[in-house]
């Protein structure tokens, strides 16, 4: 958390409020949270926001002159629009004051676990070439053929493959479990054992789930909020994630929990059967 849908909901809120706004001040409360140069002038001070661009779990605020700020949300990051001169909550490491049509407001970057960061770059092209080039295709746009090619010779589990951001960007524990369940694929299946038909179904189901979650504002498991402070609702429709020990919604079998790719993984042993030849180590 947050995964692609949660980050996308943040980006959509930022697009509605921040595009066209000018940053009038920058306040860094934890210097280690800012990668690279941390002078406020490097964090788009005095510049107007032109657009928000997301890839996987990361996104940038791009200014009209082309300079950008990259946000990595880590495990617990959020970026929330707040009224001007709002009280700063705990774990807000950077906040910006912006102005639009004469009205000021603030942008608070909060990250309790501090796995995320913010960094300035001179252009969007540098981000694409030096940062996002290391990531796989965005999960909402990846094709079955792209995923097929990225799974060739991958002998680890399909669950681990879905979590690997260099294979496809944006999927975490929630949507890996949900999409594998919907496609009836055991999480321990070797990634390179999937047929092209299975990969097509997996991509299809994954993208339906991601889009549905975005429509529902993402999954609020603990404290996810979009940029406007609203909680998501998609967690109410989870079919396996967080439901171990409960009955499968399709067959009634008891959902099981295992550790796969160092992450808690929930699946249905009846709907997602594993053949011995397709098994891989966790």
Span 35-87, pLDDT tens digits: 875 555 679 999 999 999 999 999 999 999 999 999 998 888 889 999 999 88
What tokens does 106 get? Answer: 């603030």
What tokens does 245 get? Answer: 């020990």
57 in active site: yes
256 in active site: no
Q: What's the pTM?
A: 0.91
DSSP H or E segment with residue 22: strand 22-28
273 in active site: no
Rounded distance between C-alpha atoms, residue 135 and residue 168, angstroms: 7
pLDDT at residue 77 in the model: 85
- Per-residue confidence band for 171, with pLDDT thresholds at 50, 70 and 90: very high
Yes or no: say if 210 and 139 are a contact pair by the CB < 8 Å rule.
Answer: yes
The mean pLDDT value for 118-132 works out to: 95
Residue showing tokens 């094709």: 143
- Per-residue confidence band for 149, with pLDDT thresholds at 50, 70 and 90: very high
pLDDT at residue 40 in the model: 53
Span 81-116, pLDDT tens digits: 999 998 888 999 999 999 999 999 999 999 988 888
Q: Name the active-site residue from 5, 8, 54, 57.
A: 57
For the chain, the straight-line distance linking the first and the last C-alpha, in angstroms and rounded, comes to: 21
What tokens does 47 get? Answer: 């510049």
- For 4-134, CATH gives 3.20.190.10
Instruction: List phi, psi (to 5°) of 185.
Output: -110, 130
Span 172-204, pLDDT tens digits: 999 999 999 999 999 999 999 999 999 999 999
On whether the 144-278 domain is CATH 1.10.472.10, my answer is: no
Rounded distance between C-alpha atoms, residue 2 and residue 8, angstroms: 10
Residue extent(s) of CATH 3.20.190.10 domains in the chain? 4-134
Q: CB 109: neighbour CB atoms within 10 A?
A: 25
Q: Name the active-site residue from 17, 88, 184, 263.
A: 263
2 in active site: yes
Residue extent(s) of CATH 1.10.8.50 domains in the chain? 144-278
1-5, 103-107, 264-268: the lowest-pLDDT one: 1-5
Yes or no: say if 186 and 267 are a contact pair by the CB < 8 Å rule.
Answer: yes
pLDDT at residue 151 in the model: 97
């Amino acid at each position: 958390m947050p995964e692609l849908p949660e980050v996308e909901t943040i980006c959509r809120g930022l697009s509605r409020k921040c595009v066209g706004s000018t940053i009038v001040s920058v306040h860094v409360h934890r210097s280690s949270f800012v990668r690279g140069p941390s002078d406020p002038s490097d964090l788009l001070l005095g510049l107007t926001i032109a657009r928000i661009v997301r890839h996987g779990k990361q996104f940038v605020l791009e200014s009209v002159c082309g300079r950008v700020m990259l946000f990595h949300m880590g495990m617990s990051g959020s970026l929330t629009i707040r009224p001007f001169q709002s009280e700063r909550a705990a774990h807000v490491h950077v906040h910006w004051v912006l102005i639009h049509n004469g009205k000021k407001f603030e942008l608070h970057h909060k990250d309790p676990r501090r796995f995320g960061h913010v960094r300035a770059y001179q252009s969007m092209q540098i981000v694409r070439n030096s940062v996002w080039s290391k990531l796989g295709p965005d999960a909402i746009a990846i094709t079955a053929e792209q995923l097929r090619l990225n799974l060739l010779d991958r002998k680890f589990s399909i669950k681990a493959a879905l979590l690997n951001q260099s294979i496809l960007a944006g999927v975490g524990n929630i949507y890996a479990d949900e999409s594998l369940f919907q496609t009836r694929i055991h999480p321990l299946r070797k990634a390179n054992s999937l047929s092209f038909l299975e990969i097509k179904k997996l991509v299809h189901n994954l993208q339906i789930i991601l889009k549905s979650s975005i429509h529902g504002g993402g999954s609020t498991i603990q404290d996810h909020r979009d940029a406007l402070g609203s909680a998501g609702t998609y967690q109410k429709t989870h079919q396996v994630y967080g439901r171990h020990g409960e009955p499968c919604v399709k067959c009634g079998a008891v959902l099981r929990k295992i550790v796969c790719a160092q992450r808690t993984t929930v699946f249905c042993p009846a709907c997602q059967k594993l053949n011995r030849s397709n098994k891989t180590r966790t």
